[in-house]
Amino acid sequence: AQSVTQLGSHVSVSEGALVLLRCNYSSSVPPYLFWYVQYPNQGLQLLLKYTSAATLVKGINGFEAEFKKSETSFHLTKPSAHMSDAAEYFCAVNTNNAGNMLTFGGGTRLMVKP
Amino acid sequence: DADVTQTPRNRITKTGKRIMLECSQTKGHDRMYWYRQDPGLGLRLIYYSFDVKDINKGEISDGYSVSRQAQAKFSLSLESAIPNQTALYFCATSEPHGGAFTGELFFGEGSRLTVL
């Protein structure tokens, strides 16, 4: 079985500050890991993904995430927050034995203060 | 125009009513999904379909049914709606590369359903 835990349902940062959104996964086999972003009144869109190549993955809009097997983590970071980053972020996991399905975490809402 | 279109975008209904949410896509993808989003629970898979003859239950299929009318159309029905089915529903599509699941889903804008 696979699962995803996102620590912190709400995160607030000041514009220009570091963004850190936490994701831990549970999987009995090597996982594929994803971050999706949901802007207000929109569907989700893929931000970045890890598929067993480089452990540091760069995505759109300056975001990146690092796969750490020893910590079973895939935290999302951005050096400097922008007001337009305010959205809800979802971590998701897929494994080869999961029937081509994603399991999503509960989501973290990022608020950016001016 | 959106590649994945959901109708209706908002619907308020009463307990016991039958509701259908429709999804159509112009991406040409074979795989289609219905997810439900609830605050704090993320997205949970209701049903998915890998082609017009293939329908599979997800983790929370009870109380729901689906129909894949064509490659481009995938409908979700609530035969007798109940209040705890109040949620935001998303349709999504995906396309494998070389037979492998890429993990990239393309979502519609969602259908907000309220059951009173």
State which H helix or E strand residue A57 sits in: strand A56-58
Size of interface A-B (CB pairs under 8 A): 58
A22, A72 in Cβ contact below 8 A? no
A107 touches chain B (CB under 8 A): yes
Low-confidence ranges of chain A (pLDDT < 50): none
pLDDT of residue A28: 74
Measured from the Cβ of residue A31, the count of other Cβ atoms closer than 10 Å reads 25
Categorize the per-residue pLDDT at B98 as very low, low, confident or very high, splitting at 50, 70 and 90.
low
Residue B57 has pLDDT above 90, yes or no: yes
Residue A103 to residues A13, A73, A100, B5, B54, Cα–Cα distance (Å): 27, 15, 10, 23, 21
Place of tokens 């991406």: B27
Burial of A86 (0-12, 13-18, 19+ CB in 10 A): middle
Chain position carrying tokens 């007798």: B80
Does B42 contact chain A (CB < 8 Å)? yes
Closest in B42, B45, B103 to A49, CB measured: B103
B10-37 pLDDT tens trace: 999 999 999 999 999 999 998 899 999 9
Of the candidates B50, B103, B109, the beta carbon closest to that of A43 is on B109
Q: What percent of chain B has pLDDT over 90?
A: 77
Report how far residue A45's alpha carbon sits from residue A105's, in angstroms, rounded to the nearest whole number.
Answer: 15
Handedness of CA A79, A82, A84, A89 (dihedral sign): positive
Q: What is the pLDDT of residue A64?
A: 97
Evaluate whether B9 touches B89 at the Cβ level (below 8 Å).
Answer: no
Q: Do B90 and A34 touch (CB under 8 A)?
A: no
Q: What type of residue sits at position B72?
A: A
Residue B39 has pLDDT above 90, yes or no: no
